Amino acid sequence: MKLYIYDHCPFCVKARMIFGLKNLPVELVTLLNDDEATPVRMVGKKVAPILQKDDSRYLPESMDIVHYVDKFDGQPLLTGKRNPAIEEWLRKVNGYANRLLLPRFAKGAFDEFATPEARAYFVAKKEAAIGNFDEHLSHSAGLVKNISDDLRALEKLIVQPNAVNGELSEDDFHLFPLLRNLTLVAGINWPTRVADYRDNMAKQTQVNLLSSQAI
C-alpha cells in the first residue's frame, strides 16, 4: 500500500499511526503542497492523506483509512471507548492551536515544502485563513502560556502512557497528532504524564516528533 501525505498534516499523522501501531509496511509518498493535480486525479479534490490500496483503488479521509487498515488483518486495535472530556479538551485547544502551528509549519523543513513555490502556496492559503504569520509569531508568548496551562489539565485525563483512556481508541488518533505537532513550538511546559504519553505514542506509532525544529 502507498500513503500520500504531508508531513506536517495532523490528519496524515492519524493515517500513519495505524500502520506503525500494527507494524504494517506502507510506502509513504509526500506530495508537494502546491501539487493539486495528483490528489485531484486520484480522488477528485486536493486532500491528504490518500491511501492507495493493494488493488490500486484510492481511499481518502484519515479516519476511514485508520479503520480500513485496523480491520485489514481481522485483529482491530481500536477497541477502547472515547472520553467526552478528551473531546472537549481537543475542541478547546484546536480553537487556537493553528495560530501557533501554521506559522511554524511554514518555516519547517518539511518535504511538502521542498520548492519555494510549494511553501509560498501554503503561506498564501493559510494566511488568507488566519492572518499574517509574522504577526502570530510575535504574539506566541500568550498562546504558549495557554497551551502549557491546558496541558496541565490534560495530564489529569491520561490513564496510561500507551493509550490515553487505558485502551487504544479514536481519542489517541485525535490527541497524539496535535501533541506531536506542538513539539514544533519552543517554550511549552510539558507535564510529565503528557510528555510520557507523547513520547510513548511516537515510539509505538513510529511517527517522529518535531522537537529538533522547534521555534
Percent of the chain with pLDDT over 90: 99
Give the pLDDT score at 185: 98
Which DSSP string corresponds to 99-134?
A: HHHHHHHTTS--GGG-SHHHHHHHHHHHHHHH--HH
Give the pLDDT score at 173: 98
| Contact partners, residue 131, CB within 8 Å, separation at least 6 | none
Q: For residue 24, tell me if it sits in a domain.
A: yes
Q: Which of 10, 40, 70 is the last residue of a domain?
A: 70
Percent of the chain with pLDDT over 70: 100
Q: For residue 144, tell me if it sits in a domain.
A: yes
CA dist 92 and 182 (Å) reads: 15
Q: For residue 170, tell me if it sits in a domain.
A: yes
User: Do 189 and 118 have their domain in common?
Assistant: yes
Give the pLDDT score at 177: 98
Give the pLDDT score at 90: 98
At 114-138, the pLDDT tens digits run 999 999 999 999 999 999 999 999 9
How many domains in the chain? 2
For the segment 180-209, the average pLDDT, to the nearest whole number, is: 98
Give the pLDDT score at 170: 98
CATH number of the domain to which 42 belongs: 3.40.30.10
Q: For residue 75, tell me if it sits in a domain.
A: no
| Structural domain harbouring 200 | 84-213
At 46-61, the pLDDT tens digits run 999 999 999 999 999 9
